[in-house]
Amino acid sequence: MHYAPSTKSCRIKLHDKREQSYRRPDGRANKDSAGGWRYRQYRLHVVDAAHEKGFAVRALVRDRAKARKFPKEVQLIVGDVTRPETLSAAVDGVDAVVFTLGSDGAGKAGAENIDYGGVRNVLAALGSRQVRIALMTSIGVTNRDGSYNLSTEAHDWKRRSERLVRASGLPYTIVRPGWFDYNKADEHKLIFLQGDTRQAGNSSDGVIARRQIAEVLVSSLTSDKALRKTFELIATKGPAQEKLDALFAALDPDSKDGLDGVRDMPNKPLEDEPQRVNDDLHALSANHR
């Protein structure tokens, strides 16, 4: 999706995400009808958050019919993040991009092609243009040994997508939300964490409402305090904060020359990465020199 504030040019890329499952507290996928409903509601939250901040919205969708609940002002572009030839129109003229890609239920191939490949393809489509990036990945993304990552490699590929964003040289914010919509009715006070130390693989790692994830992603685009920041996002008991700049400002920035988030565990050395991944990093770095 892309958004453009009414007072200046700004557009934000989200995703063309597939119908997907969502993880239960035990880490297994739940594929009942609520999973698809919850996902569609999340997309509406992001659009709503952008509209409330005065952004015009452009949405990349795979199926125009499934976007019928979007406000009529939203510009729809039919495309697919796994098909680079469909992305030119989606990124034309943009100066901000929001990624909320996810491949739950699609296995290892889906994790590579969507979670990682979607980010790579959109960044490549942008070429040398300078745009603001907001990327959503996941709490626990540096946990390589948990059963979820061992079976799907989703954490590994999401972490590689983070590295692509950092290597691109573009201004960015990376948000790693906790468990979607497991928060209680009185749990809306936002907490920003760093170091990705909560790795139980269940909702004890932290919970957050999808609406608030959307608000944080969109708010990061216009906050200088959010630049080059990577953090985990959860909520605790209490009301939501009205202003987020103080929360962004309290975070440590990522290293200018590093590929990982500040305080992240150094457990994914580049020399052990697939050659195609290192090639992608070099290509994106070259685009923005």
Alpha carbon dihedral 146, 150, 151, 154, in 10-degree steps, equals: 90
C-beta of residue 190 within 8 angstroms of C-beta of residue 212: yes
Instruction: Read off the amino acid at residue 142.
Output: T
The Cβ of residue 275 has, within 10 Å, a number of other Cβ atoms equal to 7
* Mean pLDDT in residue range 110-128: 95
The Cβ of residue 1 has, within 10 Å, a number of other Cβ atoms equal to 29
Across the chain, what does the average pLDDT equal? 86
Kindly give the interhelix angle for 117-126 and 275-287, rounded to the nearest 10 degrees: 30
Task: Please determine, for residue 30, whether its predicted confidence score (pLDDT) is greater than 80.
Answer: no
**176: which 2 tokens?**
């790693």
- Please state, in angstroms and rounded to a whole number, the distance separating the CA atoms of residues 271 and 259: 13
- Please state, in angstroms and rounded to a whole number, the distance separating the CA atoms of residues 150 and 117: 19
Q: What does the pLDDT read at residue 26?
A: 38
Q: What does the pLDDT read at residue 36?
A: 36
Residues 36-91: pLDDT tens digits? 334 455 567 887 788 788 888 888 888 888 888 788 888 889 999 999 999 999 99
Q: What does the pLDDT read at residue 225?
A: 98
Question: Taking the domains of the chain in order of start, what are their residue ranges?
Answer: 2-287
Residues 216-240: pLDDT tens digits? 999 999 999 999 999 999 999 999 9
Q: What does the pLDDT read at residue 23?
A: 43
The Cβ of residue 211 has, within 10 Å, a number of other Cβ atoms equal to 17
Give, in degrees to the nearest 5, the angle at Cα 184 between 205 and 156: 30
Task: Please determine, for residue 31, whether its predicted confidence score (pLDDT) is greater than 50.
Answer: no
**CATH T-level assignment (fold) for domain 2-287:** Rossmann fold (3.40.50)
Bridge pairing between strands 96-99 and 189-193: unpaired
Q: What does the pLDDT read at residue 57?
A: 84
Residues 247-262: pLDDT tens digits? 999 999 999 989 999 9
- Please state, in angstroms and rounded to a whole number, the distance separating the CA atoms of residues 279 and 187: 43
Q: What does the pLDDT read at residue 156?
A: 97
Among 131, 151, 132, 111, residue whose Cα is nearest residue 20: 111
In sign, the C-alpha dihedral spanning 257, 251, 100, 202 is: positive
Instruction: Please give the full DSSP string across 155-203, using - where no structure is assigned.
Output: HHHHHHHHHHHHHTT--EEEEEE-EET---TTB-EEEEE-S----SSSG
Instruction: Read off the amino acid at residue 269.
Output: P
Question: Phi and psi for 232 in degrees, rounded to 5?
Answer: -90, 140
- Please state, in angstroms and rounded to a whole number, the distance separating the CA atoms of residues 288 and 124: 10
Q: What does the pLDDT read at residue 7?
A: 37
Q: What does the pLDDT read at residue 59?
A: 84
Q: What does the pLDDT read at residue 41?
A: 54
Give, in degrees to the nearest 5, the angle at Cα 90 between 176 and 216: 25
- Determine the number of helices (DSSP H) and then strands (DSSP E) in the chain: 9, 12
- Please state, in angstroms and rounded to a whole number, the distance separating the CA atoms of residues 266 and 112: 21
